[in-house]
Amino acid sequence: MVERFLEQQPAICATLLSPEVRKGQSDLCTLNETDVSNAKDAVSALKPMKDATTLMSEESNPTVSRIAQINAQLFQDMTGTIEDSPMIHAIKNAIKTDLLKRYNGEAENKILHTASALDPRFKGLPFLTVEERLEIYRNERTVRRTEVTEAPEVTGTLEEETPDGPSAPKRKASSSSLLVSLMGRSFTDTEGTAEPKTPYAIAEEEIERYCKASSLPLTEDPLNWWRCGHCKRSTFKPEHVDQLVFLQKNLQIPKC
């Protein structure tokens, strides 16, 4: 409201000076130069708060990942400078004092910082120190390792789970074993002898790839990013599994 008044202030003053408006009015109350200057300072000091409020209000899919980032940015914007007028300094100091009371719990900050780290737009965590960033990603690696370790082990392959019982690929595996036994000294099956990766190593690689990937632009939706980047094999519908099995069975059609 104050910002709109300042935009229209020249027109308002000109209107108040009009003889038609002043006719029959002994005194017209309006802002003096000091009031206008203070109003400008208030608008300038409160602009970051207005922008943050508008940003969160217009969010169609509110995400926790924004809270720590916005809170840190507001805290930085509310840090006074030597160029600030007494009015601006007083406003910034009042807001900064209030911000210090919010989001200061250890468990609360852990959740907010982890959410920001999982948002591809804010994963750089520039508002944290290097040690704090490393701690956040160490915790993510630990959680990821636990999830992978505790996940139920998947045994067998897609071909072995068909209702027809043992399939051709399984018999082919026996032939392959025979070839390895017979010619293994001359031909090394690097794929078959590769050291299996531990769940911890897999989690480490996933976090490393995530950190090295380019950050998502602020204009993009992080939920869409995760939706497109999430593994979809765990969400296959039964009919899609049947189609994959059919394609696998008929991948190599024997020549007549």
Residue 55 to residue 47: CA distance in whole angstroms: 12
Sign of CA dihedral 197, 203, 208, 209: positive
**Phi-psi map region of 125: left, alpha, beta (phi>0 left; psi -120 to 50 alpha):** left
**DSSP 8-state code for residue 195:** P
Alpha-carbon radius of gyration of the chain: 32
Query: What pLDDT is stored for residue 255 in this prediction?
Result: 61
Q: What pLDDT does residue 236 have?
A: 64
How far apart CA 178 and CA 24 sit, in angstroms, is 111
> Once rounded to an integer, what is the mean pLDDT over residues 86-101?
92
For residue 181, the model assigns a pLDDT of 47
- Residue 256: the pLDDT is 56
Check if the beta carbon of residue 6 is closer than 8 Å to that of residue 39.
yes
Number of H helices, E strands in the chain: 12, 0
Check residue 197 and report its DSSP letter: P
Which pLDDT band, with edges at 50, 70 and 90, does 235 fall under?
low
Give residue 25's pLDDT band: very low, low, confident or very high (50, 70, 90).
Answer: low
- Burial class of residue 73, CB neighbours in 10 A (0-12, 13-18, 19+): middle
Q: What is the pLDDT of residue 88?
A: 93
pLDDT band at 193 (very low <50, low <70, confident <90, very high): very low
**pTM listed for this prediction:** 0.57
Q: What confidence tens digit (pLDDT) does each residue in 136-168 have?
A: 888 776 666 665 555 544 444 334 344 444 444
CA distance 83 to 132: 32
Q: Which residues contact 126 (CB under 8 A, 6 or more apart)?
A: none
In the chain, how long is the greatest CA-to-CA distance? 114
Average pLDDT, the chain: 74
Q: Is the pLDDT of residue 177 over 70?
A: no
Residues 213, 217, 222, 224, CA torsion sign: negative
- So what's the pLDDT on residue 190? 41
In angstroms, the CA 202 to CA 207 distance is: 9
Q: What is the pLDDT of residue 32?
A: 80
pLDDT in tens, 29-87: 777 888 888 999 999 999 988 888 888 887 777 788 888 888 888 888 899 888 899 99
| Token pair belonging to 161 | 């789970």
